[in-house]
Structures are given as structure tokens and as C-alpha cells.
Amino acid sequence: MEAPLTLRQSRHLEAAERTADRWWRDAVIYQVYVRSFADGNGDGVGDLLGIRTRLPYLHSLGVDALWITPFYESPMADGGYDVADYRAVDPSFGTLGDIDALVREAHALGLRVIVDIVPNHTSDRHAWFREALAAEPGSAARDRYMFRPGRGTDGELPPNDWESVFGGAAWTRERPDSGEWYLHLFAPEQPDLNWHNAEVRAEFLDILTFWLRLGVDGFRVDVAHGMFKDPALADIGRSGQIALLGSEALPYFDRDEVHEVYREWRALLDSFDGDRIGVAEAWVPSAERLARYLRGDELHQAFNFHYLSADFEAGALREVVDATVAGLAPVDAPATWVLSNHDVTRHVTRYGGGALGLARARAAALLMLALPGSAYIYQGDELGLPEVTDLPDEVLQDPQWERSGHTERGRDGCRVPIPWGGQEPPFGFGAPGSSDTWLPMPASWRDLTVEAQAGDPDSTLSLYRRALRLRRELAALGDRTTLRWLDAPEGCLVFARGTGFVCAVNTSDAAVRLPAYGDVLLASGPVDVEDGALVLAAATAVWCSVPHP
């Protein structure tokens, strides 16, 4: 590391002073999935050096911040969401010096940096879990996790019927035929921590402090609705519990106690200069439940998974936009809009794939970036990348594939490395001439590379660049004005922001005629102005500037 940590905070302050306060209220935040973004050392796996070399790309794209998924020391049982040491960088991703340099270089370009924090569980290789396994039942070391005796005559049955999000039981016995069971809501390599234990709480405050001192601008909180479990550990009494996630109350998610922790974290964030933030990854049943994470003394933002899950259909989209805005109003938190991430099928494919899926995805981007609040872009969204649906079985790495007994292929299809340039895999990712990337890249991506799209004014990359530039320039966008719905024919959404801006989206599969609201600033597909009407092709969105009366 090039300078002592004590200098970081003052450097951070300089960066913060360059941009407005409360930057997060309308920031566009770009999600970097480390393993797949850019490969700096040519081993076929993305890393911190790769991200550093691509910071100018992110800067010219026009985003405000990047969120980097876990790069901490990890055996990678769940792509880094199984952390063995929260204060160390995994050697496959680089060093502490690399993250330190990355944060400074990003700040110099005016980009904020958010990192992941994984508090619900550690890796089974974490020093605490090894210590727990070596200790006796009832010991202090075991109390940091959720160890319980089994049921049945010989303790051979799990303590209750809870299921892992990745499939199978949420409990694993410490030895095949004996000993206690431990809880893991995800993979067995991800034992759940006991958040009733004071040492656990203190340790995470210390970890957050470590990264805040290094200069990060905030944390994306993994499984923010997790951590506390109903102490009764009672049976749920039904299987298929994963299907209830985000729609019904479960005894291990969204419990009141978790909010005390966020109050502590908020006080810590506020004690640092420069508007540091917390972002909740919380799958909860309603906008009202989500708002609880965003009360003035808790976290700043939460991912809007109800928006992500909505079909590309005017009625469904309008409903979720209204519910979002109404749900957040009482806590005065900004909405967030997100279409994809490293856990879900890419939206080009969700929206139907092929030319139609891409047209809808482009329109969805203009819609998302015109809505009030903050927006998240998942790496590759700006290239219109589809899900890779034909990865061979033998390359699949997501634990869901094994845990589901090979019935769920898991999330690898949205995690394929980013194509940067060239005519064939690895498209500028990994060592030149070697197609050995951690997941194989489809040869058909030759037309989707950054290089191929950069000079094409009609490309998806150019659309994102223009939209992001306009979003900064137009006084009505971001978080600066509220949204006002205008009359729209069936299948269309039309809304105004402020007095000078209208966004119209045609989600139907036929062209529509709309009033000509003003000059067309940007369109995701074919638009015409005919006889004073705006003719919007199927699956197309447009931004218009409206002349002042």
C-alpha cells in the first residue's frame, strides 16, 4: 500500500467535495462482478487490476459509481460470497494495494466505489468457523454460529425443516454420523452467523471501519434481510420455501432485530466524511417492508427487486413504479431501479430474447433512466448482452447446480465474462490467443464487444452513453423532480418530469401514435413524427424535450 491509512480519509474528503452532497439520491451505479468484468493478469478470471484498467471506460460511459462484488479471501464456493477473511483480498483478484489504488484512481475520475459486505454468513474456512468446529458444543466459539443438536433418537435428523436457498436442507451435520448441526441458509460452505452474539456485531463494525478508512464510499449489504432468525427455530411445515422468498414472511428473514444493527451501522457511516452509504439487498414481501430498511437512521438505498421482476408490460410497470414511489415516500428515501444483476437471468433474455428481447431491453433502459431516483446497471447491460443459456454442464460452477441435484442450472449464464474487443473469444478478456476464461464466451458475441459497439451510433452502448449524458444534463431527471403520468393508450406508459421532459414507452407489439410532446432527444428504436403525431414502434421508448408554454 502506498500511504498510511490515516491519509485516506482526507483524500476521500477531497473527492467528496468535488461532487454534490447526497450523491446517492440519483446516482447511476454500475455493478462490477469481479470474476467476469476484466482480467488484468491474463489468467481467464477477472480481477482488481482489470477493473483499474477499465475505469476510463466506466467514466466515459457516464456512471457515477461502481459497486464491486466480493473480492475478499474466499474458497469461492459461492463466487466470493463465502468470505474467509473480510480484511484480505483473494490472491486470484489481487492485493490490498490493488483495491487501495483502485479506490484512489476511481475517485480521481469522480467515480465512487461501493463494496460488498456479507454479514449473514462466513465461509466454512473462516478462522471463526474452524475454531467453532474444534470447540465443544456450548462453547463461546460455537455461539458465533448457529449450532444445534439434531432431532431423532441419535440426533440424526436436522433441528428443523428449514430449507437452503440453494436447495436441500439448511442444516449440515458437523460429521456425517455424529455431532451437532449448523445452519446455512445458502451453501453448506456458508455457515450462518449468530447475530445475537455481541462479538459478531462488534466484529462487523470493525470490518466496516477498516474499509471506510481505506476510502470506500459505501457497502452493498448482502442478504440484508437475513442475519437474525426466530430463536424458536420452529418448523415451517411446508417445502418449497425458496418460492416464498420475497412474498411471504419466513422465520429467518426480515426480522425486526436487524434494524438495530443498521442503526449502529448508520451511525458509523455518518461518523466518516463524504456521504458514505449502505445499500440493502433485501428480498422482502412489499414496498412497505422495504421502506423499513431506509428509515432516516438506517440504510440509504435498497434494490428494487419488485421492479426487476416485473414483466415488460405497461400495466405491470406502472403498478410497480407507483408502489415503489408510494412505499418510499414516508421515509423520504430515493427509489432505485434495476433490471439485472449477477443472480438473475439477463433481461434481454427474460424479455423474450433475440431482436425483440433486445428492443425491449433498450426501451427498458430509457424508462429506468428517466424514473426518479437512482439506477443500477449490471455489467454488460450496456452492451445488450443476453443470458448464455447453453453453457455445457461440466463448466457450471454455481452451487445451485449441485445442490438442486442438477435440476437448476443456476446463475452462471449471466456471469459470462464481458467481451471487450476482437473477433473471437476471449474478446479481450484473459490472455490473448487463449480462449480459456473461467466460463466460456459465445463466439456469437463478436458483434457485441465494446470495440464493435463504440463507433456505432445505433449500438446499445451508444444509447446508454447518450442517455447517461442527458440524464446528467437535464434538470428534470435524476431525483430532482417527481413523476407525473400522462394519458396513454393501452400498452404505453407516458410520464412527464418537471415541465420540460416527457418519456413515452410502447410496451406493445404494434406501433402507436402519440401526441408529439416536443423534440425527440433520444429513442431506443424507430420513431417518426408524422402530421403532428409521434409514431413509436413496438417495444420502443423515447425521451422528448417539451417546450415551455
Q: Check binding of 254 to ligand NOJ (CB under 6 A).
A: no
If the CB atoms of residues 69 and 92 are measured against ligand NOJ, the closer one turns out to be: 69
Name which of 163 and 222 has its Cβ closer to ligand NOJ: 222
**How far apart are the C-alpha atoms of 544 and 80, rounded to whole Å?**
43
How far apart are CB 129 and ligand NOJ at their closest, in Å?
15
Q: How far apart are CA 507 and CA 490, in angstroms?
A: 9
Closest CA to 85 of 192, 174, 207, 199: 207
Q: H helices then E strands: how many in the chain?
A: 17, 21
Site string for ligand NOJ, 274-293 (x = CB under 6 A): -------x------------
Nearest CA to 398 out of 386, 409, 414, 387 is that of 409
Residue 87 CB, nearest distance to ligand NOJ (Å)?
A: 18
> Cβ(524)–Cβ(542) under 8 Å?
yes
Nearer to ligand NOJ, 357 or 399 (CB): 399
| Residue 275 or 281 with smaller CB distance to ligand NOJ | 281
Contacts of 17 (CB under 8 A, 6+ apart): none
Contact between 444 and 435 under an 8 Å Cβ cutoff? The reply is no
Q: Site residues for ligand NOJ, window 117-136 (CB under 6 A)?
A: 118
Least distance (Å) from ligand NOJ to the CB of residue 281?
6
Q: Which one of the listed residues 78, 281, 298, 343 is annotated catalytic?
A: 281
Residue (57 or 378) nearer to ligand NOJ, CB: 378
The mark string for 30-69 relative to ligand NOJ (x by CB under 6 A, - otherwise) is ----------------------------------------
**Among positions 343, 381, 382, 412, the unique one binding ligand NOJ when judged by CB under 6 A:** 343
**186 lies in the binding site for ligand NOJ (CB under 6 A):** yes
CB of 336 to ligand NOJ, least distance (A): 15
Q: Give the number of other CB atoms < 10 A from CB of residue 25.
A: 21
Query: Using the rule CB under 6 A, is 192 a contact of ligand NOJ?
Result: no
Q: Which three cell numbers stand for residue 264?
A: 449502529
Q: What's the closest the beta carbon of residue 186 comes to ligand NOJ, in angstroms?
A: 5
**Nearer to ligand NOJ (CB atom), residue 415 or residue 471:** 415
* Minimum distance of ligand NOJ from residue 247's CB (angstroms): 17
CB of 73 to ligand NOJ, least distance (A): 15
Residue from 124, 180, 222, 382 touching ligand NOJ (CB under 6 A): that is 222
Task: Pick from 64, 73, 78, 412 the residue near ligand NOJ by CB under 6 A.
Answer: 78
Which residue lies nearer to ligand NOJ by CB, 186 or 401?
A: 186
- If one asks whether residue 189 binds ligand NOJ (CB under 6 A), the answer comes out as no
Nearer to ligand NOJ among residue 39 and residue 412 (C-beta): 412
223 near ligand NOJ, judged by CB under 6 A? yes
Closest CA to 165 of 226, 109, 113: 226
| Contact pattern for ligand NOJ over residues 80 through 119, marking x by CB under 6 A | -x------------------------------------x-
Contact call for residues 112 and 217 (beta carbons, < 8 A)? yes
By residue count, the chain amounts to: 549
**Rounded distance, CA 528 to CA 188, Å?**
56
- Report whether 294 contacts 34 (CB < 8 A): no
CB of 453 to ligand NOJ, least distance (A): 27
Cβ 220 vs Cβ 116: under 8 Å? yes
Residue type, 211: W
Burial of 425-456, coded b for 16+ CB within 10 Å and e otherwise, reads bbbbbbeeeeeebbbbbbeebbebbbebbeee
| Residue 6 per-residue DSSP state | G
Q: How many residues in the shown chain lie near ligand NOJ by CB under 6 A?
A: 9
Per annotation, catalytic residue among 39, 47, 180, 222: 222
Task: Spell out the residues 6+ positions from residue 27 whose beta carbon is closer than 8 angstroms to its own.
Answer: 64, 65, 112, 374
| Omega before residue 426 within 30° of 0, cis | yes
Closest residue to ligand NOJ, Cβ-based? Answer: 81
C-beta of 234 vs 395, nearer to ligand NOJ:
395
Pick from 96, 114, 92, 88: nearest CA to 31: 114
Give which of 158, 45, 72 is closest to 431, Cα–Cα.
45
Q: Is 281 a catalytic residue?
A: yes
Joined together, the cell numbers standing for residue 49 give 487490476
| Residue 410 C-beta: closest distance to ligand NOJ, Å | 10
For residue 402, which of 129, 33, 77 has the smallest C-alpha distance?
A: 77
Active site residues: 222, 281
Which residues lie near ligand NOJ (CB under 6 A)? 78, 81, 118, 186, 222-223, 281, 342-343
